[in-house]
Structure 1
């Protein structure tokens, strides 16, 4: 049974086979979609946070059964915060629709309409490895806005979604550039 969410690089045709990954998803261009699947580093980190939340919920149950309702409530609130953090971590990334380009980070979301974007292109440059301060030579998909600001990096081939997955990065870069070419005008 396929999962209920589809991404631009994993759309399935009517027979459960993968459709052309470079094709734009014209069936619902007004819905926000991520043009790539979350990578193993992001999914693994979220899984560890969910495991931690399960231990905190177990602690809340034990503390509640021991008679300390205040401690159980505090543990329950901490567990809910960890769960929200894990789910938000899974949503982090770049999302596209016919309306524009949305960049979701851990604490905030920014949306730019396609009319405010001059170019989306792939460049070779030093990039941060898994978001850490260490930089390595790699590729980045950057967006240049119409206001002539500094280009902003959308995704890199060394971030949590594309580490050790170069073909997934190439596919996502192609899809992002195709969305920009289609809807920018």
Structure 2
């Protein structure tokens, strides 16, 4: 049975490998030069599933007549949905303006003029963001002034675990963006 969405995915991989074939031709739009990985998407899907159960329980509690309890459940469900959506946005975003590192609780933007170099380096990296570290590759941004940023992406984070070719492609695209816009 042919699955057309799989061939479209491979075509997108082929086009994304080339710098000029990014999804948008407008350099002013913020975009992520890689797709979220299966670990990140799976975790977000689990939180969305749990949020649906919490919201269903809020409806049952509201029908039973306890509105304060239902309000608490709706609030918890809304927080779980917000967490899942923010988890999907975590990563590196680039535009002609600079480099944006989106984390769960904060976002840091560096203009290209403040970036001295973007390169990969072998170093201990966190495995799926947990405290445990393993030897791996990390994409490091060195600034013209001040300390370098913490590792942007690693080959053991939620986007690239067990996908080394995707990590290499994303690192190459980010290095190309830095080389083009830094000058």
The normalised TM-score by structure 1 is 0.89
The 1:151–1:106 alpha-carbon spacing in structure 2 relative to 1, beyond 3 Å, is: closer
CA distance, structure 1, for counterparts of residue 84 and residue 32 of structure 2: 17
Counting only pairs closer than 5 Å after superposition, residues 39-50 of structure 1 correspond to structure 2 as 39-50=37-48
List 4+ stretches of structure 1 deviating above 2 A: 9-12, 17-20
CA distance, structure 2, for counterparts of residue 181 and residue 96 of structure 1: 12
| Structure 2 residue 20 is matched with structure 1 residue 19 | no
| Equivalent residue number for residue 115 of structure 1 | 113
How many residues are aligned here?
175
Using the TM superposition, name which of 41-50 and 23-32 deviates more: 23-32
Aligned residue for 1:156, secondary structure, equals: coil
Counting only pairs closer than 5 Å after superposition, residues 11-160 of structure 1 correspond to structure 2 as 18-19=14-15, 21-24=17-20, 25=22, 27-160=25-158
| 1:40 Cα deviation after fit | 0.7
Structure with greater helix share of residues: 2
CA contact (8 A) 2:140 2:148 kept: no
| 1:151 Cα deviation after fit | 4.6
Where structure 2 has 5 or more consecutive residues not aligned to the other structure, the ranges are none
Using the TM superposition, name which of 145-154 and 157-166 deviates more: 145-154
The normalised TM-score by structure 2 is 0.89
Aligned residue for 2:134, secondary structure, equals: strand
| 1:11 Cα deviation after fit | 8.0
